[in-house]
Amino acid sequence: MNEKKILIGVCGSIAAYKTAYLIRLLKKQHADVRVIMTSSASGFITPLTLSTLSKNPVLTRFTANDQGEWNNHVELGLWADIFVIAPASANTLAKMANGICDNLLLAVYLSARCPVYVAPAMDLDMHKHASTQANMRKLQESGVKMIDAEYGELASGLTGTGRMAEPENIVSIINDFFSSGRPLQGKKALVTAGPTYEKIDPIRFIGNHSSGKMGVAIARQLMAYGAEVKLILGPVNDFFDLESISVSNVISADEMYELAKEQFTGADITVLAAAVADYKPRIFADSKIKKNKDNLTLELTKTPDIAASLGKKKSDGQIIVGFALETDNEFENARKKLYSKNFNMIVLNSLNDPGAGFGHDTNKISILDKDNNTREYELKSKTGVAKDIVDAIVENYF
């Protein structure tokens, strides 16, 4: 769990004493742990105990001090790789299920982009009550993962299901999350996305319709699978939430080429989804070209072929996945590019398929590899397509 960012939420329950041990186990595995407590939790265990064990200040309120500084719940929600609420009381589960946001823990839950796990702890009758069961089902439907309460003796003296899972079991679930759900953990990935613009004069350029959506979706999927992702993005600026991806913005094919050469070193996986202009004006006019002739001839010269150049430099163990955007002889042209650019796989999208290619939120692809396999996929969202592509990479090479 080296340096994994684990956010622990603690609610008011006698089981809060077990959270001290949970934090100790996580710290032993070198996790970076931060803790948020509800105000009732601090009646069961002190913030001082948990801040000493986690080696970080414990947060309990929206405001950090009497000067009105606030604990930024959005920042906490984005910081965490995983958010584990243990113990999760019936009260907090009910509020989570209904979007209530009257304390810092709940605000962080609503802001978190990482997976959220809850370890319920309560008396057996509260646990089996129809409302609690309905709240837990509702949370699971919205993607929250349950760490089931265990059977045993409860604080009330009764015996039944309601004990918070043992800290060792919670640690094992967290370990499974970091290994199995993230098959590209520790891998480095490079993605190109978007168009390039080749300047004609200070006003005009040669460009294309790429929106960057396909490449950005792939970068996000690689990141979700645990890879450290660098994204070289052409001139599109519709993407606001790429915080964990290292983004370099470029404009021209030359700029994309220089950065890609540099960032390719050390990349285990490279996906080239950018629509790079193949030609640029041979001469850039320093001032606006005047409209004083009926015809104007622009002399064009080739841009660097980024894909072919990386394909030449590729060493054993590096995987390159290219794209082919075609309008005719699609499969034949894609297969030629697969070999001439030394890709491991190529993703073909054809402008003849409605909903595929540029701009749309959807795409329809086929994946071709060097063993002559061709896999055709349905039209689906670019997020779904990105998952298919990254799953194919994982299946074939990792």
CB 356 within 8 A of CB 376: no
Q: How many CA atoms lie within 13 A of 304 on its CB side?
A: 15
Tokens of 232: 């070289």
Min. distance of Cβ 358 from ligand PMT in angstroms?
4
CB 208 within 8 A of CB 275: yes
Interaction between residue 305 and ligand PMT (CB under 6 A): yes
CB 26 within 8 A of CB 55: no
Interaction between residue 280 and ligand PMT (CB under 6 A): no
Return the amino acid letter for 105. L
* Among 19, 103, 135, 349, contact with ligand PMT (rule: CB under 6 A): 349
Min. distance of Cβ 83 from ligand PMT in angstroms?
31
* Whether 208 is catalytic: yes
Interaction between residue 210 and ligand PMT (CB under 6 A): yes
Task: Give the three-class secondary structure for 16.
Answer: helix
Q: List the x/- string, 124-163, binding to ligand PMT by CB under 6 A.
A: ----------------------------------------
Shorter beta-carbon distance to ligand PMT: residue 41 or 386: 386
In angstroms, what CA-CA distances link 277 with 210, 234, 309, 337, 365? 11, 11, 15, 16, 21
CB 319 within 8 A of CB 389: no
Residue burial 38-76, b: 16+ Cβ < 10 Å; e: rest: bebbbebbebebbbebbeeebbbeeeeeeeeeebbbeeb
Interaction between residue 86 and ligand PMT (CB under 6 A): no
Pairing assessment for the beta strands 269-272 and 246-249 based on DSSP bridges: unpaired
In angstroms, what CA-CA distances link 35 with 48, 291, 296, 390? 11, 65, 66, 33
Interaction between residue 90 and ligand PMT (CB under 6 A): no
Shorter beta-carbon distance to ligand PMT: residue 19 or 303: 303
Residue ranges in 307-336 that form contacts with ligand PMT under rule CB under 6 A: 307, 322-325
Shorter beta-carbon distance to ligand PMT: residue 168 or 376: 376
Shorter beta-carbon distance to ligand PMT: residue 26 or 216: 216
Shorter beta-carbon distance to ligand PMT: residue 201 or 305: 305
In angstroms, what CA-CA distances link 391 with 30, 266, 342? 29, 21, 21
* Among 167, 212, 226, 311, contact with ligand PMT (rule: CB under 6 A): 212
With CB under 6 A as the contact rule, which of the stretches 147-155, 182-190, 261-269, 275-283 interacts with ligand PMT? 275-283
Shorter beta-carbon distance to ligand PMT: residue 4 or 337: 337
Interaction between residue 263 and ligand PMT (CB under 6 A): no
Interaction between residue 233 and ligand PMT (CB under 6 A): no
Choice among 72, 208, 333, 342 that is catalytic: 208
Q: How far apart are CA 313 and CA 324, in angstroms?
A: 20
Distance, C-alpha 77 to centroid of its chain = 14
Min. distance of Cβ 213 from ligand PMT in angstroms?
4
Please identify every residue annotated as catalytic: 208
What residues make contact with ligand PMT under the rule CB under 6 A? 192, 194, 210-214, 253, 272-276, 278, 303, 305-307, 322-325, 337, 349, 357-359
